[in-house]
Amino acid sequence: MTKWKRANPNGTRDYLFEECTLIEEVEQKLRLTFLERGYEEIRTPTIEFYDVFAFQNRPIDEEKMYKFFDEKGRIIVLRPDMTIPLARVIGTQRWDTPLKVTYSGNVFRANESHSGKYNEIVQSGIEVIGIDNVRAEIECVISVIQALQKLNVQSFTIEIGQVQLYKCIVKKLSIHDEEERVLRTYIESKNYAALSNFIGEKKLDRCDETVRLLEKLPRLFGNLEVIEEAEKLASSNEMKMAIARVKEMYETMETLGYGSYISIDLGMIQHLDYYTGVIFKGYI
């Protein structure tokens, strides 16, 4: 019964002294930067009902959630993500939009042993709600850039992706859900050989523009030349609109003087299904 008395659970660690101070400083600088830009703070409970995360095409695998029961026998989870609880709050209140919110808190995911990932991490972020155009995305990226500058990060890149383009391709090719999950993994990991084999095994027509775009997708990263190449293969208005949104965002960021921080990666599609349009990821 005392075997694990002095051990930490897998994927967790203790933070001591200077580390605690550093974490607190980073969180506070992020928080102040976002508050200065007009974001308002929201805090959600560390525990949530399982049902909050259990919807169709759930973005987080059930196996990755820490689950237990409350006093009434209802399934409770340690929150594995901050965005979905935030959506719960927004969906149950009446707000004047547009609304800019910021959040920060610990999230918990049961990753595989020896995966190199922590099961408990701090997740800080921002959301712009009620604006469905490129201005909201630009606002988020600029906020992140300014936050990193406040943290004195000397060198970083913000990559912009477009999930909607990928979803348009999948819809046009009529790929089943299980096949789509495999395909998503190949593209996200830039596994060119596996993607090529997938196209061959499914007997997809390599002369078809949509299939050609699919095969090129993980290689479409860089600057505006990437957009121009994707535009040539876009076979529907929906695809063209998705690409145009990334182009507008990239050009606007250049005009505002942030172009040196921005890169495009149309093969960045993420594994969480609730992403639908432009996404971005920072590399330090």
Tell which of 74, 109, 130 closes a domain: 130
Q: Are residues 218 and 108 in the same domain?
A: no
Q: Is the residue at 154 inside a domain?
A: no
Give 274's pLDDT tier (boundaries 50, 70, 90).
Answer: low
Task: Report the pLDDT value the prediction gives residue 3, as an integer from 0 to 100.
Answer: 85
Residue 57 belongs to domain with CATH number = 3.30.930.10
Q: Edge-to-edge strand order for the sheet containing 75-78?
A: 47-49, 75-78, 67-69
Residue 133 has pLDDT above 90, yes or no: no
DSSP state of 153: -
The pTM assigned to this predicted structure is: 0.90
Task: Report the pLDDT value the prediction gives residue 177, as an integer from 0 to 100.
Answer: 84
Q: For residues 201-216, b (16+ Cβ closer than 10 Å) or e, as one string?
A: eeebeeeeebbbbbbb
Q: Is the residue at 170 inside a domain?
A: yes
Q: Are residues 166 and 103 in the same domain?
A: no
Task: Report the pLDDT value the prediction gives residue 23, as an integer from 0 to 100.
Answer: 96
Q: Are residues 182 and 256 in the same domain?
A: yes
Beta carbons within 8 Å of 58's beta carbon, 6+ residues apart: 273
Q: Which domain holds residue 80?
A: 18-130
Number of domains in the chain: 2
Cβ proximity of 82 and 123 under 8 Å: yes
Task: Report the pLDDT value the prediction gives residue 142, as an integer from 0 to 100.
Answer: 97
Q: Are residues 112 and 189 in the same domain?
A: no
Task: Report the pLDDT value the prediction gives residue 272, as an integer from 0 to 100.
Answer: 57
